[in-house]
């Protein structure tokens, strides 16, 4: 999800007015009225008090004076406009926003289970994790309960997969008995893992994340579900543990009572030819880009640097800038275009014969300073070179290539939406490429500056912006075909990205749209031979609405059954998981809302296409949900075995200094 | 939050999932084993065989530095691969949308499919070349391309070669000469430079500075950048301290370049932020330091508000929120507007260059405001001056916000034509808001009145005005503002109800009737017990007791025993004007059920019910109890009413509420 609400305050109405409007939104009566008039007996009839305790106006009987009715109460501006809390906190009053607030380290500390999760996580990470890789390490005191017991933690493994690069092993069967007891038992249970990690060429690294927590009740222990990941260079262990705990008394840390292994996997990568310590993927960024001043002055730096060097009018840099790979000068080598945030020029680099890049931004005419999200390099006029479609600010621009990667602006199409991703297809089979642009947030009707609308309702927001289908009319002219093609259905979401594919194998291009804060779209193309293409949104019918905060979409035949499967990147939130699955979360909320919120925190989705007729949600069975706060999530066959692997770029906003989870 | 430098789901490690080739449905998590698990805030991913070695490399962009990474695939693989470059002839030339089916193995029994795609993942475009890893399925015999809008076409594949061009209609997979071997690039660990607090921020639109007052060494107070219609020299306000080495270095440089700076017309005032607990010691230290440098520019000491004001000022325009470092400087233009903020030292050449940006139009400023050259297709919208006031508000400095808005007002009068008409009226709106936030309702209304004459359609402000009038206990005026707001949007439950309440509070009988219809209208939009209760109240006071009773009974049917409705129904049944509607015994039953000495008027209701039922002794006993309680209170709200009632009961007369006769009765 995009943190679109961070910035709105600097643009919008004066803070005071905004506060007033917010309180108005939650009820002129309920919010600002003083405590209800004492018509309702406070003690005996407390249960019968009006729900929201709005003072039910003046009682007629005793109040014989005409004027003092508090029907319209005195507002309490100073208390209702406490400034500190409103300065930077998003004003969303929606369920997931509350979840997110809880997830925020400075969030509400009163949520005891969150405190417990933090304590349990600290116990696991600080005390237990270091024992995983160091043979002979003492089990620290203050970790285990006296009655601690565990299943085997690294049971007998059997090879599941092996090729030249990867060997994957998983348990033949999961141990179900808690056969290891006490400290000695834990030592014994750790022994196989320690043997596996005994080669100390590489540093040990690991992380345990608590993803579910249920409080212990009636003296029963607390229970947590934890994801475990540890590695030494090419060897990696992944596991899932059910832990029980005795809650600490008086601020003491909880004590681990048991671990039950639910899943285990060992990965051993074969080092590349470069040597045993070399990584499978080598970061050659500096070698490719380093000779360009733009690298060391611009691209090596992150958003935080620019936040300190640009007027805030340029916006808060959320990093949603795309990369485009295409041969722009026809030399057979693929070139690179990088979109950049407002006030920084987009960068265009030509690939040289030696595989390095040369900055050609200025010469190309593509050194555009306007905030840009994405670009496509496609041959729009079928003249043999790649023209450029650029999504920037509230518009899409068409730039024509002269064949030598010098681009000139042909036209700019203004949209009512803050634009995001682009994808192209010849949807009507007329021989030229059309394109679809996602709109994220709408330009406000009332105030052009108030561009950030809050998604409402958060978990299923339908107040986003229009997406546009631009039909190629030749001569680099485009018409808005959104409505005539039927793509105006369900077209008010917060859309990030889209991708075309013939999912139903009928020869025409269908379109999947990934939307933040809610349902996605799968538009099935009903192209008829005359060339008239109309679309129907079949996402709900085919079960791929994937209600979540979606950031991206990719297609590939991942199971090699002849139809294209779907991978959708969403927000996986450990805090969201912990909280949304607890019994106490949103008590009184209906099951449907609760499911929606849980679904929101589930993470990425993998939908297997069944013969182009239906989709099967294989996200969990395929182990593909936990992409964290996922953005670009692409199918890439990393080992050339003909089976599509997946790479997920993730992380929302890192602070410059301290590490977050 | 982000602006304040805090993180949110940050430092997450990228994930890699390995497809186990059908061996197990569950992919393996190989994130760490591949070394692809950077903890960047990753965003856009694209793949390509960059170095033409037959496997797919990765480009990925990040929010954090580095903004991009190229990750070369060195995965050892024994699997061959093929790559196809498609060209449409009747289909679009890039063949985007073409489905490529690759047939491998004996008799082509293994089929793999891919598509030519332009735009996928997050904001990415990967190479248009279509790559196939062949795995263990054996050599590829042919591909079938389904061209978009065209038919399927078979391309037999020769036994050798890894890259082919497939031209629509040719039926021939044309081998592409392999690219000459490229030198193997050397990997490295990218280390972005340390982030520093330093920065230079050019405001896209200069903003008038707040009141800034300093004291000179001789004790005179001076206002910096006073509001004046006459242009002044550009001014650099510099914060420094005797213990700050970069400050002294910077001031020494300025001293050396004083001729150039003065020739450029720049006035500098350096303000010491040294510890002021011992002013004499501070003065001595400052004087000594300045003498050592031979500092030729003005120097001063801050008044109590100066630093806080400059602090808010800089936070209003900088994306990253952090406290002002020392040194910091503020370049003020000839009209007293902040044009450039320097966090950290500023070089003489930079200062001289920035002087040329002063008083320039936006497009000129834009070239100076961005760190690298480039071209604009449009223009960003500058931050408005009022954001300074907002920043004050957000930091809890409401009085400062008011002071600043008033200063903006004064500034605008001194420099007519700089602010647009809308900005001018907006200022009044803001002034109203900051006054309201300080409970200065009357003054707020004065400002808002001025604003609303310019912008009569601002519904939000009309509502704010109604709140201010209400706070001043002037319901008639509140009602007028609400009426105006309702004219713009009628279907607003809260406003309808609020107007109803204002009319009730105004106490005019004709208002009660209107209030009743407003409550009814609101209830039709969104039924609620409270609204129905208020409707009953309005009906009762309009003399429509029968309807009022019906509404209250409806409430009690839905919510039996609800005390407010129970009390009011008892009151109507006991004290109403129409004998046919009165019912003493029921009133007694109802009033008894809500009797509560802590809620004094319930005793009043009960006494009236007893009286109506003819139980005057009970009525008297109850009202005396009520009077005793009221008399014991510091402020007695109902005493007079109770005494009137007592007198009636003593005369063996039931109490009649004159208001219930409505406009007609009384």
Q: What percent of chain A has pLDDT over 90?
A: 62
Q: Are strands A468-472 and A434-442 parallel, antiparallel or unpaired?
A: antiparallel
Nearest to B44 among A279, A431, A632 (CB): A632
Instruction: Sort out which chain B residues have CB atoms less than 8 A from A297's CB and list them.
Output: 371-372
Q: Which of B645, B647, B664, B666 is nearest to B655 (CA)?
A: B645
Instruction: Sort out which chain B residues have CB atoms less than 8 A from A556's CB and list them.
Output: 114
Nearest to B78 among A164, A305, A656 (CB): A164
Q: Please report, for chain B, how many H helices and E strands are present, in that order.
A: 22, 21
Please state the length of chain A.
661
Distances (CA, A) of A157 to A170, A174, A237, A517, B269: 5, 10, 12, 41, 74
The answer on pLDDT for A69 being more than 70 is no
The answer on pLDDT for B612 being more than 90 is yes
Q: Is A301 close to B193, i.e. CB distance below 8 A?
A: yes
Measured between CA atoms, how close is A217 to chain B, in angstroms?
31
Residue A67, exposed/middle/buried by CB under 10 A (0-12, 13-18, 19+)? exposed
Q: Is A88 close to B529, i.e. CB distance below 8 A?
A: no
Q: Which of B528, B515, B569, B514 is nearest to B545 (CA)?
A: B569
The answer on pLDDT for B478 being more than 80 is yes
Q: Are strands A222-232 and A468-472 parallel, antiparallel or unpaired?
A: unpaired
**B 547-566 residues with CB < 8 A to A:** 559, 561-564
CB A659 within 8 A of CB B154: no
d(CA A639, CA B36): 14
CB B636 within 8 A of CB B630: yes
Sheet-wide strand order for B68-73? A281-283, B68-73, B57-62, B42-48
Q: Chain B within 8 Å of A15 (Cβ-Cβ)?
A: yes
The answer on pLDDT for B419 being more than 90 is no
CA A328 from centre of chain: 32
Residue B398 banded pLDDT, cuts 50, 70, 90: confident
**Tokens (6 digits) for A435:** 């394109």
SS (H, E, C) A108-122: CCCCHHHHHHHHHHH
DSSP per residue, A176-192: -S--EEHHHHHHHHHHH
Q: Is A70 close to B187, i.e. CB distance below 8 A?
A: no
Instruction: State chain B's mean pLDDT as an integer.
Output: 92
Measured between CA atoms, how close is B554 to chain A, in angstroms?
16
**Tokens (6 digits) for A652:** 């929302």
Phi-psi map region of A620: left, alpha, beta (phi>0 left; psi -120 to 50 alpha): alpha
Q: Is A298 close to B371, i.e. CB distance below 8 A?
A: yes
Q: What is the pLDDT of residue A96?
A: 39
Q: Chain B within 8 Å of A118 (Cβ-Cβ)?
A: no
Task: Encode pLDDT of B8-46 as tens digits.
Answer: 778 899 999 999 998 899 999 999 999 999 999 999 999
Q: What is the pLDDT of residue B10?
A: 83
Q: Is A643 close to B398, i.e. CB distance below 8 A?
A: no
SS (H, E, C) A630-644: EEEEEEECCCCCCCC
Q: Is B121 close to A310, i.e. CB distance below 8 A?
A: no
Q: Chain A within 8 Å of B655 (Cβ-Cβ)?
A: no
Q: A569 pairs with which residues across the strands?
A: A552
DSSP per residue, A297-351: IIITS-HHHHHTTSBGGG--------EEEE-SSSSSS-EEEE---TTS--EEEEE
Q: What is the pLDDT of residue A590?
A: 65
ipTM over 0.90: no
Instruction: Sort out which chain A residues have CB atoms less than 8 A from B114's CB and list them.
Output: 556-557
- The 3-state DSSP composition of chain A as helix, strand, coil percent (nearest 5) reads 20, 30, 50
Q: Is B320 close to A308, i.e. CB distance below 8 A?
A: yes
H or E element, residue A372? strand A372-378
Closest residue in chain B to residue A44, using alpha carbons only: B596
Sheet-wide strand order for A434-442? A417-425, A434-442, A468-472, A478-480
DSSP per residue, B431-443: HHHHHHHTT-HHH
CB B315 within 8 A of CB B332: no
* Cα atoms in the 13 Å half-sphere on the side-chain side of A79: 7
Q: Name, in order, each residue with C-beta under 8 angstroms of A148's C-beta and a sequence gap of 6 or more.
A: A181, A182, A183, A185, A186, A255, A256, A257, A258
Mean pLDDT of A538-548: 95
Q: What is the pLDDT of residue A330?
A: 96
Q: Chain A within 8 Å of B91 (Cβ-Cβ)?
A: yes
DSSP secondary structure code for residue B171 in this structure: -
Q: Chain A within 8 Å of B62 (Cβ-Cβ)?
A: yes
Residue A91 banded pLDDT, cuts 50, 70, 90: very low
d(CA B199, CA B329): 11
Q: Chain B within 8 Å of A617 (Cβ-Cβ)?
A: no
Residue A74, exposed/middle/buried by CB under 10 A (0-12, 13-18, 19+)? middle
Nearest to A355 among B13, B51, B317 (CB): B51
Residue B288: other Cβ atoms inside 10 A: 10
Closest residue in chain B to residue A530, using alpha carbons only: B149
More confident residue, B331 or B423: B331
Instruction: Sort out which chain B residues have CB atoms less than 8 A from A647's CB and list them.
Output: 14-16, 36, 45, 47, 58, 60
Q: What is the pLDDT of residue A274?
A: 87
Q: Can the peptide bond before residue A482 be classed as cis, meaning omega within 30 degrees of 0?
A: no
Phi-psi map region of A476: left, alpha, beta (phi>0 left; psi -120 to 50 alpha): left
Residue A133 banded pLDDT, cuts 50, 70, 90: confident
Closest residue in chain A to residue B322, using alpha carbons only: A308
Measured between CA atoms, how close is A418 to chain B, in angstroms?
13
Q: Which of B448, B396, B397 is nearest to B427 (CA)?
A: B448
Task: Encode pLDDT of A270-285 as tens digits.
Answer: 999 888 889 999 999 9
d(CA A654, CA B15): 17
Q: What is the pLDDT of residue A66?
A: 27
d(CA B305, CA B289): 25
Nearest to B319 among A269, A316, A637 (CB): A316
pTM of the full structure:
0.82
**A 138-197 residues with CB < 8 A to B:** 160-161, 163-166, 168, 170
Instruction: State chain A's mean pLDDT as an integer.
Output: 81
SS (H, E, C) A424-454: EECCCCCCCCEEEEEEEEECCCCCCCCCCCC
Measured between CA atoms, how close is B20 to chain A, in angstroms?
6
Mean pLDDT of A394-413: 97
Q: Chain A within 8 Å of B1 (Cβ-Cβ)?
A: yes
Closest residue in chain A to residue B133, using alpha carbons only: A640
Q: What is the pLDDT of residue A75?
A: 28
Q: Which of A309, A335, A344, A583 is nearest to B196 (CA)?
A: A309
Q: Chain A within 8 Å of B205 (Cβ-Cβ)?
A: yes
Q: Are strands A255-269 and A144-150 parallel, antiparallel or unpaired?
A: parallel
Residue A587 banded pLDDT, cuts 50, 70, 90: low
**Tokens (6 digits) for B599:** 């809620």
Q: Chain B within 8 Å of A410 (Cβ-Cβ)?
A: no
Q: Is B199 close to A308, i.e. CB distance below 8 A?
A: yes
Task: Encode pLDDT of B312-347 as tens digits.
Answer: 999 999 887 788 999 999 999 999 999 999 999 999
Task: Encode pLDDT of B225-236 as tens digits.
Answer: 999 999 999 999
């Amino acid at each position: 999800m995009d943190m679109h609400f961070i910035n709105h305050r600097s643009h919008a109405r004066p803070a005071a007015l905004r506060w007033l409007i917010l309180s108005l939104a939650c009820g002129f009566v309920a919010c600002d009225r003083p405590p209800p008039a004492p018509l309702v007996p406070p003690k005996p009839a407390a249960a019968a008090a009006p729900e929201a305790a709005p003072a039910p106006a003046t009682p007629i009987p005793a109040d014989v004076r005409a004027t003092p009715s508090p029907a319209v109460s005195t507002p309490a501006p100073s208390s209702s406009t406490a400034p500190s809390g409103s300065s930077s906190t998003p004003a969303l009053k929606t369920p997931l926003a509350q979840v997110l607030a809880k997830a925020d380290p400075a969030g509400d500390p009163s949520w005891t289970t969150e405190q417990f999760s933090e304590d349990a996580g600290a116990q696991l990470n600080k005390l237990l994790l270091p024992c995983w890789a160091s043979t002979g390490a003492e089990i620290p005191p203050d970790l285990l309960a006296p009655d601690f017991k565990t299943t085997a933690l690294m049971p007998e493994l059997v090879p599941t997969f092996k090729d030249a690069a990867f060997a994957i092993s998983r348990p033949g069967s999961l141990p179900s008995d808690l056969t290891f007891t006490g400290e000695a038992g834990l030592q014994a249970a750790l022994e196989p893992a320690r043997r596996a990690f005994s080669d100390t060429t590489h540093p040990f690294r690991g992380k345990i994340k608590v993803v579910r927590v249920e409080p212990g009740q009636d003296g029963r222990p607390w229970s947590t579900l934890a994801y475990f990941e540890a590695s030494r260079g090419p060897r990696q262990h992944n596991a899932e543990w059910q832990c029980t705990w005795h809650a600490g008394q008086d601020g003491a840390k909880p004590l681990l009572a048991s671990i039950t292994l639910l899943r285990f996997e060992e990965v051993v990568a074969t080092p590349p030819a470069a040597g045993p310590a070399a990584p499978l993927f080598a970061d050659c960024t500096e070698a490719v880009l380093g000779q360009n001043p733009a690298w060391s002055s611009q691209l090596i730096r992150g958003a935080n640097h620019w936040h300190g060097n640009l007027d805030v009018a340029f916006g808060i840099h959320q990093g949603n800038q795309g990369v485009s790979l295409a041969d722009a000068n026809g030399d057979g080598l693929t070139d690179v275009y990088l979109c950049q945030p407002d006030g920084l020029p987009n960068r265009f680099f030509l690939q040289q014969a030696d595989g390095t890049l040369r900055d050609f931004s200025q010469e190309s005419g593509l050194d555009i300073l306007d905030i840009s999200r994405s670009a496509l390099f496609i041959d729009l006029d079928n003249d043999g070179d790649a023209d450029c479609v650029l999504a920037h600010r509230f518009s899409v621009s068409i730039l024509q290539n002269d064949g030598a990667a010098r681009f000139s602006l042909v036209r700019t199409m203004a949209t009512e939406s803050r634009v995001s991703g682009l994808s192209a297809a010849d949807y009507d089979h007329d021989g030229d490429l059309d394109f679809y642009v996602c709109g994220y947030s709408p330009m406000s009707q009332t105030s052009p500056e108030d561009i950030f609308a809050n998604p409402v309702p958060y978990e299923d927001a339908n107040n986003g912006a229009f997406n546009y289908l631009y039909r190629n009319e030749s001569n680099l002219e485009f018409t808005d075909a959104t409505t005539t093609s039927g793509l105006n259905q369900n077209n008010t979401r917060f859309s990030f990205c889209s991708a075309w594919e013939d999912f139903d194998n009928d020869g025409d291009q269908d379109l999947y749209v990934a939307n933040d804060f809610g349902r996605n779209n799968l538009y099935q193309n009903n192209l008829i031979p005359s060339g008239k293409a109309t679309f129907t949104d079949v996402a709900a019918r085919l079960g791929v609405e994937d209600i979540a905060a979606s950031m991206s979409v990719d297609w590939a035949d991942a199971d090699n059954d002849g139809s294209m499967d779907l991978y959708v990147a969403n927000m996986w939130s450990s805090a969201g998981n912990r909280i949304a699955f607890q019994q106490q979360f949103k008590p009184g909320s209906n099951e449907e809302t609760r499911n929606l919120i849980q679904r929101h925190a589930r993470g990425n989705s993998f939908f297997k296409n069944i013969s182009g007729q239906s989709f099967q949600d294989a996200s969990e069975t395929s182990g593909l949900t936990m992409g964290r706060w996922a953005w670009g999530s692409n199918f890439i066959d990393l080992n050339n075995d003909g089976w599509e692997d997946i790479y997920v770029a993730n992380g929302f906003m890192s602070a410059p200094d301290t590490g977050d989870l | 939050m982000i602006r304040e430098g805090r993180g949110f789901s940050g430092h997450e490690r990228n994930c890699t999932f390995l497809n186990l080739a059908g061996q197990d449905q569950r992919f393996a998590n190989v994130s760490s084993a591949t070394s692809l698990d950077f903890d960047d805030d990753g965003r856009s991913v694209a793949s390509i065989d960059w170095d033409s070695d037959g496997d797919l490399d990765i480009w990925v962009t990040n929010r954090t530095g580095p903004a991009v990474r190229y990750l070369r695939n060195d995965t050892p693989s024994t699997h061959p691969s093929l790559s196809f470059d498609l060209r449409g002839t009747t289909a679009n030339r890039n063949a985007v949308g073409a489905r490529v089916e690759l047939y491998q193995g004996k008799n082509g029994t293994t089929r793999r499919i891919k598509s030519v795609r332009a735009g996928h993942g997050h904001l990415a475009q990967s190479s248009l070349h279509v790559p196939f890893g062949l795995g263990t399925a054996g050599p590829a015999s042919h591909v079938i391309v389904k061209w978009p809008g065209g038919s399927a076409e078979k391309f037999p594949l020769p036994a050798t070669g890894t890259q082919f061009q497939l031209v629509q209609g040719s039926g021939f997979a044309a081998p592409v000469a392999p690219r000459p071997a490229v030198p193997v690039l050397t990997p490295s660990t990218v280390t972005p430079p340390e982030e520093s607090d330093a920065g230079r921020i050019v405001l896209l639109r200069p903003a008038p500075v707040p009141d800034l007052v300093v004291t000179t060494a001789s004790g005179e107070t001076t206002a910096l950048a006073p509001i004046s219609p006459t242009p002044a020299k550009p001014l650099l306000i510099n914060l420094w301290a005797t213990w700050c080495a970069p400050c002294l270095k910077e001031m020494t440089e300025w001293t050396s370049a004083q001729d150039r700076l003065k020739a450029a017309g720049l006035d500098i005032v350096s303000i010491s932020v040294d510890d002021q607990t011992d002013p004499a010691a501070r003065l001595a230290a400052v004087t000594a330091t300045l003498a050592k440098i031979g500092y030729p520019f003005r120097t001063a000491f801050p008044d109590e508000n100066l630093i806080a004001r400059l602090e808010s000022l800089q936070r209003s325009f900088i994306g990253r929120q952090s406290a002002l470092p020392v040194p910091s400087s503020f370049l003020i233009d000839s009209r007293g507007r902040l044009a450039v903020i320097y966090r950290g030292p500023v070089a003489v050449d930079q200062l001289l260059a920035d002087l040329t940006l002063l008083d320039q139009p936006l497009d000129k400023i834009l070239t100076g405001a961005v760190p690298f050259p480039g071209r604009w297709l449009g223009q960003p919208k500058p931050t408005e001056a009022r954001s300074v006031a907002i920043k004050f508000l957000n930091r809890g400095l409401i009085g400062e916000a008011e002071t600043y808005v008033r200063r903006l007002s004064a500034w605008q009068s001194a420099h007519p034509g700089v602010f647009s008409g809308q900005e001018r009226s907006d200022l009044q709106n803001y002034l109203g808001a900051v006054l309201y936030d300080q409970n200065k309702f009357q003054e707020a209304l004065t400002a808002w009145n001025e604003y609303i004459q310019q912008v009569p359609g601002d519904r939000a402000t009309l509502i704010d005005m109604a709140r201010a009038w209400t706070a001043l206990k002037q319901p008639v005026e509140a009602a007028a503002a609400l009426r105006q707001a309702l004219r713009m949007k009628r279907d607003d439950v809260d406003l309808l109800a609020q107007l109803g309440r204002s009319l009730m509070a105004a106490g005019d009988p004709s208002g009660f009737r209107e209030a009743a219809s407003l409550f009814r209208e609101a209830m039709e939009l969104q039924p609620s017990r409270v609204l129905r209760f208020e409707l009953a109240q309005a009906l009762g006071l309009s003399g429509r007791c029968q309807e009022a009773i019906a509404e209250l009974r409806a409430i009690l049917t839905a919510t039996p025993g609800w005390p407010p409705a129970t009390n009011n129904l008892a009151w109507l049944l006991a004290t109403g004007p129409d004998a046919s509607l009165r019912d003493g015994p029921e009133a007694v039953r109802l009033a008894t059920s809500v009797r509560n000495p802590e809620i004094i008027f319930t005793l009043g209701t009960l006494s009236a019910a007893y009286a109506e039922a003819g139980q005057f002794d009970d009525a008297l006993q109850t009202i005396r109890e009520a009077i005793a309680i009221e008399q014991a209170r510091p402020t007695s709200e109902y005493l007079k009413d109770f005494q009137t009632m007592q007198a009636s009961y003593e005369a063996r007369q039931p109490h009649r509420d004159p208001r219930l006769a409505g406009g007609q009765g009384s």
